[in-house]
Structures are given as structure tokens and as C-alpha cells.
Amino acid sequence: MRRWSVLPTSFWCLWVAWFAIVSISPSSAQQMSNLDRERAETMLQVVTSDIRKNYYDPKLHGLNWDTLVGEAKQKIEKENSYNMSVAHIAAVLDGLNDSHTFLVPPQHSYKQEYGWRFQMIGDRCFVVRVKPQTDAESKGVKPGDEILAINGHAPDRDTAWKIQYVYNVLRPQPGLRLNLKDPAGTERQVDVMADVKEKLRVRDLTGGNVWDYVRDLENERRLMRYRYVEMGDDVMILKFPAFLYTQSEVQDIIGRARKRRSLIVDLRGNPGGSVETLKWMVGGMFDHEVKVADLVTKDSTKPMLAKPFGNDGFTGKIVVLIDSGSASAAELFARVMQLEKRGIVIGDRSSGTMLFYGASITEADLRMTDGNSLEHTGVLPDELIVPTGGDLAAGRDPVLAHAVRVLGGKLSPESAGKLFPYEWPRE
């Protein structure tokens, strides 16, 4: 499948506004060349053709597709900005309102690290991490600061992930302006600069560059590894950062869990991943075959089934932790545990993004066994518990501490916050 797709939908007005803002990016004032115009027109043709061919809804949600494509082509022919040309392509697909159909842009020639992370907690947005020895730290940005605006835009549950997408993937900036409020209620405005480093445009994998490539792969594997803590014979806490593991790795996880009476599966911040890993993880929690969801494509409806591990599955109590960063496969896992009454879900409402079932175009919708999709809805926890700004500032994790108490164990929020230290990518 082609790598081009479209921007997240319900995004047009906001995205145009971002491109219209006077940016500190040195490329913002560049005029579009004839070559760039041809690229934009080709992108429009490829994207819209692939959507018509592969999108799971053959009616494209009732959009007048040909008219929208024609209007976008006329705008690109008159446009002087390449970025705005891409915005016109996004506008064509605004009506799809599909969180997993988005543009996969060419890789940038530089690496950008803002030095801080943010997340929706409940209906408010907070700084959750600040990297040491960065401009963000020197400017006094701290975990627990509530973010009122990023470059003039107030993040909410509909726009926060889109802001991340624009400024981290589509259009990274040398710096961002933050409007913050600390836990004491004091508001301030801070301009935080990013650490920008040029990347090699061509990598010689027959020479010294091969070791840079190897280090990048090792760094990615390190950040994506699963971690666990065992609390005697009672509880195993599994930090599961993504659904990207092999069957043997999942079997190893289940084998370790079988030695304990209870299992906490921490899916907070887990963006999803492989369908196969999802099925293996679900299968490891049951002694019988379970339907995860119905896979609804433009041509058929097929059940997605998870097969049990026989006598090697985990049979103890299960608690699943989720938050606004839990998406796709993480949401499906949590929802299956709810629907099958296999375990309870604790934390914050999840992101509400559908399983990614294609390289860049949503080829299928997923319907849970209750007949509903998680798209734009997410998973509502059985127990809604979120950290406060003060918890974030102090490094406390009241959600994990509560989960341990539910299973009969003892763990303070302070100790819970130290179990799985956040790991920044290595330089």
C-alpha cells in the first residue's frame, strides 16, 4: 500500500490557522517551486484515489468526493505555499472524521527534541515530563504545570493529539510558546526552544554510519521493552508500552504472570500496535476462544478471534490501567476485559482512536461484541481515577497505588511513582 494518506479529520479550520500563524520556522516564507506544485498535485491524486479504492466505507461518509478533489486541485494550482497546498489536501478529507487516516510525510532532515511531554488528564492538559538540561527545564517548566495554550491554541481531548501530530511529525518548530498555570494557580507565558540537530541525508551502512543505525535500533528497542515488578506471590505489575511483541515474548509474559495471583497490565501511554500481539495477549488471559471484535471492511464482516493458550494461560485477577494516551490495540484489550467481565479497568478515559488496520488508510472499522466502535468514544474505566497537578509535580502515581490496593496489596503513591522511571531517548 502507498505511504501517502490524509491528515486527521475535524481538523481543517485548526490546521489552516496553524499555517496562517507567523511562524519562527525559517522555511515558512519560502515560495513554492513548480516541482513542489507538481508534487502536491501528485499527492492529491494518489491520496484521493487510494481513499476511494481502499477506505472501509465505500460511500466515504456521503462526501461529494469528485467535487472536493476538483476544488482542491484548483486551489493548489493558484497556491504559493507548499504547506498550504498540503492543507488543501487535508481539507478534502475533513469530512471523513477518521483518527487513523492521516498523512505520512517524508522524513525531516533534522531531529527535534522539545524536552517536555504533555498529556490530557481528564479534561485538562498537563506537562507530565521535562527532560533535564533542556531549555524547558531552564525556563522553569515543570511536571504538574497545566497547559492553557500551545502557540495560542488551547488543547482539549479533540485537539491535543493533533497538536502533537503537527508539531512533532508534520511541521516541527524551533520553539513553542506555552501558556502555563502551576499547581498553586499562578499563570505565566514561556517561550521554550527545541534542541534541533541535523541528520545525515545519506547513510553509508557499509562504513562508520552503520553503528549510528545500530544504536538507533537499540535505543528504540530499549524504549519499547516491557518491564515488570513482582510483589511477592500476590501481584505482578506489567508495564506494557506497545503491542509490538512476538508470540514467544507474550508467552514469556504470561508464564511469569501465572506465578502470581493477580496481574496489573499498565497500558497508560500505550498507542497500540500489532493485531497479532493483541490477539496473543487477549488469548493469554482466557481458557477459551474470545472474539475481540468484528472487522468491518467495505466488502465483508469477519470476526477477530483470540485463541487461548490451553492450560498455560493466566487465570488470576486482572486490573488494566488506561489513560488518554491509551489507543487502538490498548483500548481493545481493555474493552475486551470489561465486556467479558475478565477484569476491571482503572484510570482515565482512553483516546478513542480506532485500531490501525493498514499502512495509512483505514481499511476496516472494528465493532466490539456490544456492537459499538471505540472510534471517538474510547474506553470508560470502571473506576475513574486521575492524578492531580500536585501528584505530577511530586512524582506520585495514585492510579497504580489504587490498583494494587484493589488487589489486596499495599503500595503508596510515592513508591508507585518510582517503579517505572520515564526513559528519554538517548542522543
Looking at residue 218, its pLDDT comes to: 64
| Cβ(205)–Cβ(119) below 8 Å | no
Looking at residue 148, its amino acid is L
Start-to-end CA span in the chain (Å): 32
Instruction: Give alpha helix (H) positions in 6-128.
Output: 12-20, 34-54, 65-78, 82-92
Say if residue 275 is in the same domain as residue 384: yes
77 and 157 belong to one structural domain: no
pLDDT of 2: 33
Same domain, 267 and 368: yes
Q: What DSSP string runs through 122-135?
A: TTEEEEEEE-TTSH
Q: Which three cell numbers stand for residue 334?
A: 481493555
Q: Is 307 inside a domain boundary? A: yes
CA count, 13 A, side-chain hemisphere, 44: 28
Question: Are 27 and 69 within one domain?
Answer: yes
Shared-domain flag, residues 318 and 287: yes
DSSP 350-407: --------SSSS---EEE-TTS---TTT----SEE----HHHHHHT--HHHHHHHHHT
Q: To 10 degrees, the CA torsion angle through 283, 289, 295, 300?
A: 150
Residue 124 and residue 241 in one domain: no
End position of a domain, from candidates 67, 96, 125 = 96
If one counts every other C-beta atom within 10 angstroms of the C-beta of residue 130, the result is 20
Looking at the structure of the chain, the number of domains it has is 3
Please check whether residue 359 lies inside any domain of the structure.
Answer: yes
Q: Look at residue 410 and give its three-state secondary structure.
A: coil
Alpha-carbon distance of 72 to 88, in angstroms, equals 6
Which helix (H) or strand (E) covers residue 146, if one does?
Answer: strand 146-150
User: CATH number for the domain including 122?
Assistant: 2.30.42.10
Phi, psi of 54 (to 5 degrees): -115, -15
What is the C-alpha to C-alpha distance for residues 344 and 68, in angstroms, rounded to an integer? 45
Q: Which helix (H) or strand (E) holds 162?
A: helix 160-165
Q: How far apart are CA 274 and CA 257, in angstroms?
A: 21
The predicted model scores a pTM of 0.78
Same structural domain, 92 and 115: no
- CATH for 310: 3.90.226.10
- Is 223 found in the same domain as 194? no
Tens-digit pLDDT profile for the chain (427 aa)? Answer: 333 333 333 333 334 444 433 333 334 445 788 888 888 888 888 888 888 888 877 877 788 888 888 998 999 999 887 777 877 777 777 667 666 666 665 565 667 889 999 999 999 999 999 999 999 999 999 999 999 999 999 999 988 887 887 788 767 889 999 999 999 999 999 999 999 877 655 555 455 554 454 556 566 777 889 999 999 889 999 999 999 999 999 999 999 999 999 999 999 999 888 899 999 999 999 999 999 998 877 777 889 999 999 889 999 999 999 999 998 899 999 999 999 999 999 999 998 764 433 334 455 567 888 888 777 678 999 999 999 999 999 999 999 999 999 999 999 999 999 999 998 887 6
User: Which residues lie below 8 Å from residue 281, measured CB to CB, with a gap of 6+?
Assistant: 240, 243, 250, 253, 333
If asked whether residues 53 and 86 sit together in one domain, one would say: yes
- Residue 6 is predicted with a pLDDT of 34
150/227 same-domain check: no
Q: Which residue, 38, 72, 96, sits at the end of a domain?
A: 96
Q: Please name the amino acid found at residue 179.
A: N
Q: Which residues of 71-94 are buried (b: 16+ CB within 10 A; e: fewer)?
A: ebbebbeebebbbbbbbbbbbbbb
Task: List the domain range (segments joined by +) for residue 381.
Answer: 219-416
Residue 353 covered by a domain: yes
Using the structure block, give the residue that is written with the C-alpha cell 504533555. 118
Rounded distance between C-alpha atoms, residue 113 and residue 134, angstroms? 9
Is residue 210 in a domain? no
- Please tell me the predicted confidence (pLDDT) of residue 295: 83
The predicted pLDDT at position 348 comes to 97
